[in-house]
Amino acid sequence: QAGQGLNMAIDVDKLKALAEVKRVVEVFDPKKKNGRTWFSQFRDKVKAGNLNVDEHKLLLSMHFVDTDLVQQWDEKRGTCSTVDEVDAWFLDAYGGGGMEEKHAVYTMADVKLSVADAFQPFVDRFIDTFMAANPNAIRNHRITPFINALYPEMREALEIEPAFSEWNDLVKRTEHLHAKLQKKARAKLAAVQSTQSA
């Protein structure tokens, strides 16, 4: 590996292992997506890849399709010499804030999961709203507000579990319990309907 010096080589095998050198999340469309939420999902996926700054830049640029964004990135990419600088540039340019934060604090109360709801759209909406309201929070800060947004039966089911210190563990477990509770609710409904029609 001699001769690379300061000019880091891009290890395609490393990128392949991460995503077969394709996108790891959906493309980022600044008109449709909350930049902060999108970026946290991107970083979660990329962390495992242990990329150097050039690999990080390459992978990030694969997710840009908006012409203004591509142009901005082309002008900026040469000035970012660390992964942190790349991240700071993106969040500064597309992380949002201001009015959105005030509105999000208000809408946090509206993000609730009921037994009838689909799980993934609820999680996406929760993350969007939480991150707009708390732009500097770390992932595990979401745990308590997330539990508070769940329906009573789910909270009871989680109470008998060991305490969750990791966000991803909580989401996985909640998804599993939600599927079970939905099944139970459907069975109960079916039983009620069959007694009514008997």
Cα(143)–Cα(140) distance, integer angstroms: 6
Q: How far apart, in whole angstroms, are the C-alpha atoms of residue 120 and residue 146? A: 13
Q: How many CB atoms lie within 10 A of CB 47?
A: 10
Residue 2 has which token pair?
């001699």
Express each pLDDT in 27-38 by its tens digit: 888 777 778 888
Question: Which residues, at least 6 apart from 97, have a Cβ–Cβ distance to it below 8 Å?
Answer: 135
Q: What does the pLDDT read at residue 87?
A: 83
DSSP 32: T
Q: Pick 131 or 47 by higher pLDDT.
A: 131
What is the number of other CB atoms lying within 10 angstroms of the CB of residue 38?
A: 23
pLDDT tens track for 82-113: 888 888 888 887 776 433 444 444 467 778 99
- Stretch among 11-15, 45-49, 69-73 having the lowest mean pLDDT: 11-15
Q: Which residues are 28's β-sheet partners? A: 64
CA distance 189 to 181: 12
Under 8 Å between Cβ of 87 and 43? yes
Residue pair 14/49 in contact (Cβ under 8 Å)? The answer is yes
Higher pLDDT, 81 or 178: 178
Cα distance between the two ends of the chain? 77
User: What's the pLDDT score for residue 129?
Assistant: 84
Question: With bands split at pLDDT 50, 70 and 90, how would you rate the model's confidence at 72?
Answer: confident
Per the model's pLDDT, the better-predicted residue between 187 and 14 turns out to be 187
- Identity of the amino acid at 172: K
**How confident is the model at residue 2, as a pLDDT?**
44
